[in-house]
Chain A
Amino acid sequence: MTPPKQAAARANAVSWRDVDPAPVVLVSGPEEYLAIRAMDTVRAKLRVSHPDLEVTKLDAGSYTAGQLAMTASPSLFGEGKLIEVSGLAAMNDDFLTDGLAYLNDVAEDVVLVLHHGGGVRGKKLLDAVKAAGAPVVDCQPLKKDADKAAFVSGEFRAGGRRIEGAAVQALVAAVGANLSELAAACRQLIEDSTTAVTTDTVEKYYGGRVEATAFRVADAAVGGQGPLALSMLRHALATGVDPVPLVAALAMKVRTVAKVAGARGSSAQIAKEFGMQPWQVDQARRDANRWTEEALVRCVRILAEADAQVKGEARDPVYAVERAVTAVALAARRG
Chain B
Amino acid sequence: MSVWEDLSGQAPVVEQLRAAAAAPVPNHAWLFTGPPGSGRSNAARAFAAGLLCEQDRLEDRGCGRCHACHTVMARTHADVTFVATEKSIITIQEARELVTKAQDKPSSGRWRVVIVEDADRMPERTTNVLLKAIEEPPTRTIWLLCAPSPADVLVTIRSRCRAVSLRVPPVEDVADLLVRRDGIDPELARAAARAAQSHVGVARRLAQDEESRRRRDRIVRLPLGLDGVSAAMVAAANLVELATAEAASSNEQRDAEEREMLLRSLGAPEKGPLPPSMRSQIRGLEEDQKRRAKRSVTDYLDRALTDLLSFYRDVLMIQLGNAVELVNEPLREDLSRYAGSGRPETTLARMDAVNSTRKRVTTTNVAPLLAVEAMTVSLL
Q: Which residues of A contact B (CB under 8 A)?
A: 248, 251, 255, 258-263, 274, 293, 296-297, 300-301, 303-305, 307-308, 311-313
The answer to whether A248 and B228 have CB atoms under 8 Å apart is: no
B231 touches A251 (CB 8 A): no
Is B221 at the interface (CB under 8 A from chain A)? no
In the complex, how many angstroms separate the beta carbon of A78 from the nearest chain B beta carbon?
Answer: 43
Give chain A nearest CB distance to B179 CB in angstroms. Answer: 43
Chain A residues whose CB sits within 8 angstroms of the CB of B375 once the complex forms: 304
Say whether, besides A259-B234, A301-B374, A304-B374, A312 and B365 are in contact (CB < 8 Å): yes
Contact residue among A248, A258, A261, A300 (Cβ-Cβ distance under 8 Å from B367): A248
A-B CB contact pairs (8 Å), 21 listed: A248-B367, A251-B370, A251-B373, A255-B233, A258-B229, A258-B230, A259-B234, A260-B230, A262-B230, A263-B230, A296-B377, A297-B229, A297-B377, A301-B377, A301-B378, A303-B370, A304-B370, A304-B375, A305-B374, A307-B367, A312-B364
In the bound complex, residues from chain A placing their C-beta under 8 Å from that of B232 are: 258
Contact mask for chain B residues 354-380; partner A; CB cutoff 8 A; 1 contact, 0 none = 000100100011110011011101101
Tell me whether A300 and B374 are in contact (CB under 8 A): yes
Cβ B367 vs Cβ A251 within 8 A:
yes
- Measured CB to CB, the closest approach of chain A to B230, in angstroms, equals 4
Task: Quote the shortest CB–CB distance from A93 to chain B (angstroms).
Answer: 12
Inter-chain contact A293/B365, CB cutoff 8 Å: no
Taking CB atoms, residues of chain B closer than 8 Å to A248 are 367, 370
A209 shortest CB reach to chain B, Å: 31
Q: Hey, which chain A residues are within 8 Å of B357, CB to CB?
A: 304
Smallest distance from the beta carbon of A76 to chain B beta carbons, Å? 42
Complex Cα gap A261–B234 (Å)? 12
Among candidates B230, B365, B378, B380, residue contacting A311 with C-beta atoms closer than 8 Å:
B365
Q: Are B378 and A297 in contact (CB under 8 A)?
A: yes
Question: Chain A binding site: helix, strand, loop or mixed by DSSP?
Answer: helix
Whether A255 touches B373, Cβ cut-off 8 Å, given contacts A308-B360, A313-B364, is: yes
Interface residue SS majority, chain B: helix
Please, which residue of chain A has its CB at the minimum distance from the CB of B372?
A: A304
**Residues 182-237 of B contacting A (Cβ, < 8 Å):** 228-234
Most buried by A among B360, B377, B378: B377
**Which of chain B's residues have a CB closer than 8 A to the CB of A258?**
229-230, 232-233, 373, 377
| Listed residue (B229, B371, B378, B380) with the most chain A CB atoms within 10 angstroms of its CB | B229
Contacts of A308 in B (CB 8 A): 360, 364, 366, 371
Contacts of A251 in B (CB 8 A): 367, 370, 373
Question: How long is the Cα–Cα vector from A314 to B230 in the complex, in angstroms?
Answer: 30
Smallest CB separation, B237 vs chain A (Å): 8
Cross-chain contact B373 with A311 (CB below 8 angstroms): no
Question: In whole angstroms, how far apart are the Cα atoms of A304 and B240 in the complex?
Answer: 15
Say how far A50's CB is from chain B's closest CB, in angstroms. 40
**B229 touches which of A261, A274, A305 (Cβ 8 Å):** A261
Provide the bound-state CA to CA distance between A129 and B67, in Å: 71
Chain A min CB distance to B225 (Å): 13
Given the complex, which residues of B lie within 8 Å of A307, measured CB to CB?
Answer: 366-367, 370-371
Kindly provide the distance from the CB of A219 to the nearest chain B CB, expressed in whole angstroms.
18
With A301-B374, A303-B374, A308-B360 as given contacts, are A296 and B229 in contact (CB-CB < 8 Å)? yes
Partner of B366, one of A260, A293, A296, A304: A304
* 8 closest A-B pairs by CB: A304-B374, A262-B230, A262-B228, A297-B377, A301-B374, A258-B233, A296-B229, A300-B377
Q: Contacting A261 at CB < 8 Å: which of B230, B360, B370?
A: B230
- Chain B residues in 8 Å Cβ range of A312: 364-365
In whole angstroms, what is the CA distance A308 to B359 when docked? 11
What residues of chain A lie closer than 8 Å to B364, measured between beta carbons? Answer: 308, 311-313
A300 and B375 alpha carbons, distance in the complex (Å): 9
A293 and chain B: residue at smallest CB distance: B229
Residues of B within 8 A of A303 (CB): 370, 374
Task: Identify 19 new A-B residue pairs, CB closer than 8 A, beyond the known A304-B357, A307-B371.
Answer: A255-B373, A258-B233, A258-B373, A259-B230, A260-B230, A293-B229, A296-B377, A297-B380, A300-B233, A300-B373, A301-B374, A301-B377, A304-B360, A304-B366, A304-B371, A307-B367, A311-B366, A312-B365, A313-B364
- Neighbouring B residues of A263 by C-beta, 8 Å: 230
Bound CA span A74–B346, Å: 89
Closest chain B residue to A302 by CB distance? B374
| Minimum CB–CB distance for B379 against chain A, Å | 10
Residues in A whose Cβ lies below 8 Å from that of B231: 262
CA distance A259 to B378 in the complex (A): 15
Residues in A whose Cβ lies below 8 Å from that of B233: 255, 258-259, 300
Which residues in chain B, 124-150, are within 8 Å of chain A measured between CB atoms?
A: none
- Shortest Cβ gap from A334 to chain B (Å): 16
Q: How far, in Å, is A119 (CB) from chain B's closest CB?
A: 12
Distance in angstroms from B346 CB to nearest chain A CB is: 14
CA–CA, A262 and B231, complex, Å: 8
Q: How far is the CB of A258 from chain B (nearest CB, A)?
A: 5
B327 → chain A closest CB, angstroms: 27
Q: Complex: how many Å from CA A62 to CA B72?
A: 54
Q: Which residues of B contact A305 (CB under 8 A)?
A: 374
What residues on A are CB-neighbors of B360 within 8 Å?
A: 304, 308
Q: Which residues of A contact B234 (CB under 8 A)?
A: 259, 274
Q: Which residues on the B side are within 8 Å of A262 (C-beta)? A: 228-231
- Shortest CB-to-CB span from B232 to chain A, Å, is 8
